[in-house]
Structure 1
């Protein structure tokens, strides 16, 4: 039963009542107050009409952290996309994050609207470490200057040229020597792969390679491995989600120690290069940076970007972008070849037929269709950086029917592109035919973006592509890769080891000389 007299529900009475109220308001409110109230109402109505990306209901303070697997958040986000669509919102603690999934949404954001989605949003721990310096986590003029300078000088020192190819080939011969030392017995490929790829970067950054047993090099490599491990640790992930709360509640000591040791190792090498610096004989990226500092000092030109912090962080970024990821991809490649011996047979048959016993060259890539397809499929299925690195919007934007506010953290889920069921015939399987046409010739695929895309595409993409091809082909020319004795191909586990990047679980392989 209605608790009010029925007469009060009469339309005429209601209309009279509303008019009466308005009359009172008009008499008692000033015109300014009315305009203010109207403005607030319009703004509120407009905000309510803006359709923001949907998502699961966050809890106070912790957001949606309980709905995410801290060790493999990318899998949780893939599941959430099935419910909420290609663009949705999650809260990592109190931080609002818009997640982009699928080829169309990710590619359009990173390429078509790269000016809007092109800013980097470093996690709390990385921001503490980099302070906006270097290339990977920097923004604005500093990022533009360091990226331009890095690309220009790396090209000057041979990246993408024949001299670069020769350096990679030389280093591949050192790797073959290491593999031969095991005489076909099972061994872990992690250390030799890390060392050999890091030596290629060292040639560009420092103008020299290191022997694999040099104490300084060993210390630098061990520190780099520890840094990568700790950056993906649960403690750091919790700190990134709620930095104010977890700054004192979690143990960041191991991660901070790894960062400090990595800096000390790099500074030791950089300082020695400073002592030996000859402006007439510029041999490395560090030399080029020191020369630029000297030129600016002599000319009196003001440039606030060429300072020691940018030098250290940019060198560190070169190793991070061009070392660990490439070596891990090669480890995945050898594991896949061991897991799928018939595919390894096809690669080695093509290498014998097209290249023979001579050293493989980069120019052979256009003739090695199946081998090239296998390398691409390794990169796709390995899914090394499933979350990519976080972006941030530079302005408000209406994107795919949703409103995304300026300054919003955006996560392009690269895994959703590399495993997009609308783009790949067998997205969860190792299937080199993804990159072959009906005639067995290599074909490019638009949804192949393991290096990300747009203005923030990986700085070392060109070098990594050269390394992957030459190292992979050279190793398959010289060795047959098999499981350890007593282990079958079926026993080899392809589950990735969770971390900042997805590496294979610890394993051993046999490299049997051909």
Structure 2
């Protein structure tokens, strides 16, 4: 087994802590039926956590070759089920949706949300009402419609101008992309879009970036989600306070926005998601409370900022590493769109579609998805899994299994182009998961990635930083709740 590659500030204390606590715990396997999936146990108290390495999804894929596509692992003091194939994920989430749609209570997140919001809310009346409301309201404010495409295209034009102003100096694209992406979800949820230099906007976006861009916070929060006892043991207590501080910064700003909406609310003309929620709250619709609105708005803002901007950051990095692919992509864009930036006919852009499909396979930004929990006993492939068992969907394994994909570690959009030159979508690419709890923002994210990517490639040649000496790492990143690239710089040469 490979020892967990943690930041130095975390690693030694973990080994010390395990050694001390193990003296007080008698390690024994909780009795399980012989029909419970086989797997890996690890060591007392923390289970397999010290052995999964920096990339647990990749270790789980490796272990699955021995233990099966449905396997169990002990993480912390709990048994988790890992689904490592498209077939097992569909068998659980799509064919037994009510049984597998629960969410476990993870104290590191529960201390902030207390069960409210949408992403980590357990399956039940609250989640059902809020999911339905979210889908209808987001669509009502343009998600999936041409009006949203126009809004994103306008933002892309503004982003390109910011890139153009960088001139001939290398810069970090992650200093711009999150603001462009965040502005879209801000328009939907908050009813307003901002200049990138707006102090309020910089403060709230920076809080998100620091939360997910910190190796210490990302690593520690991920570990604490599986071993909650660590929340009370240094240095995890420090990381937990840092994590909570970033959330509180976002909460303070969202609270001010909600208060302003309350003062200017007009029930006949809802301006955005918050207004639509307040309308339901004022007529007394069950589950529409202040706590729920706060958590819901924050979830939409964070998820709508970080995952899409990380996907686009990986896209730019792929363009740097594969200049011939970049050239082929640009040729198609210019052939179909020319130098103009009007509506897109995606059916005429097979290589662009293939590039994005391969991007979401190659660098899955949520490698283990969001945790699930069984709300009832279940039987799957002959295994019996009891109610309350926690489940992870290994999307990375689905996207990188060498028994399905040829050379899965190579970025190759042509794998989705047929002999006629047409784009062929694969159902083995599931970055937004499947079943009732698939990502609420999938339509918006796909539209954003397409438009922002096309707009950048159409206007600029993306080149590596000439002073870097080597290309930025495309395989290593900051891995936790979200898989993000490490900071890197590029040069954007404006096309004639």
**Residues 97-496 of structure 1 aligned to structure 2 (within 5 Å):** 97-139=80-122, 140-229=124-213, 232-244=217-229, 246-249=231-234, 250-251=236-237, 252-296=240-284, 303-362=285-344, 364-487=345-468, 492-496=473-477
Number of paired residues? Answer: 460
Partner of 2:60: 77
3-state SS of paired residue (2:491): strand
3-state SS of paired residue (2:119): coil
Native 8 Å contact 1:117 1:393 kept in 2: yes
Could you tell me how far apart the structure 2 residues matched to 1:291 and 1:110 are?
33
Change (3 A) 1:122 1:422: farther
Give the deviation of 1:239 after TM superposition: 2.8
Native 8 Å contact 1:238 1:246 kept in 2: no
3-state SS of paired residue (1:456): coil
Q: TM-score with structure 2 length normalisation?
A: 0.89
Native 8 Å contact 2:464 2:471 kept in 1: no
- Once the two structures are superposed, residues 287-327 of structure 1 have per-residue CA deviations (whole angstroms, 9 ceiling, x without a partner) of 1111112222xxxxxx4410011101111111222221111
- Once the two structures are superposed, residues 364-410 of structure 1 have per-residue CA deviations (whole angstroms, 9 ceiling, x without a partner) of 11100011101111111111111111101121112112111111001
Larger % of helix: which? 1
Higher mean C-alpha deviation, range 173-182 or range 76-85: 76-85
3-state SS of paired residue (1:403): strand
Q: In structure 1, list runs of 5 or more residues that go unmatched.
A: 1-46, 297-302
Give the deviation of 1:83 after TM superposition: 2.0
RMSD (CA atoms): 1.8
Change (3 A) 1:55 1:185: same
Native 8 Å contact 2:432 2:439 kept in 1: yes
Q: In structure 2, list runs of 5 or more residues that go unmatched.
A: 1-30
Give the deviation of 1:75 after TM superposition: 2.4
Higher mean C-alpha deviation, range 311-320 or range 169-178: 311-320
Give the deviation of 1:60 after TM superposition: 2.8
Higher mean C-alpha deviation, range 174-183 or range 390-399: 390-399
3-state SS of paired residue (2:384): strand
Q: TM-score with structure 1 length normalisation?
A: 0.86
Change (3 A) 1:490 1:282: closer
Give the deviation of 1:360 after TM superposition: 4.6
Change (3 A) 1:488 1:473: farther
**Counterpart selection for 2:482 from 501, 504, 511:** 501
Give the deviation of 1:431 after TM superposition: 0.8
Give the deviation of 1:425 after TM superposition: 2.3
Could you tell me how far apart the structure 2 residues matched to 1:57 and 1:344 are?
45
Native 8 Å contact 1:204 1:284 kept in 2: yes
